[in-house]
Amino acid sequence: MRLTCIVSIIFAMALNATSFSPKVLTIPTSCSSTKLQMNTAGFVVGSIVGGCTGTPLVIKATKSWYNNINLPAFTPPDSIFAPVWTSLYAMMGLSASKIYQSVGFALPLKVFAAHYVLNLLWAPLFFGLKRIRAAHCLNYGLLLTLSVSMKLFYSINKCASLLLLPYFAWLLFATRLNSKICEMNPTKNGYNNAMLEADLIKLQDAARKRVNL
Q: Which residues contact 48 (CB under 8 A, 6 or more apart)?
A: 86, 89, 90, 93
Q: Are 130 and 198 in contact (CB under 8 A)?
A: yes
pLDDT tens, position by position, 89-139: 999 999 999 999 999 999 999 999 999 999 999 999 999 999 999 999 999
Instruction: Kindly tell me if the per-residue pLDDT of 182 is higher than 50.
Output: yes
Output the pTM of the full model: 0.80
Domains in the chain, CATH or no CATH each: 2-10+33-212 (1.20.1260.100)
Give per-residue pLDDT as tens, 18-27: 343 435 444 4
DSSP 62: H
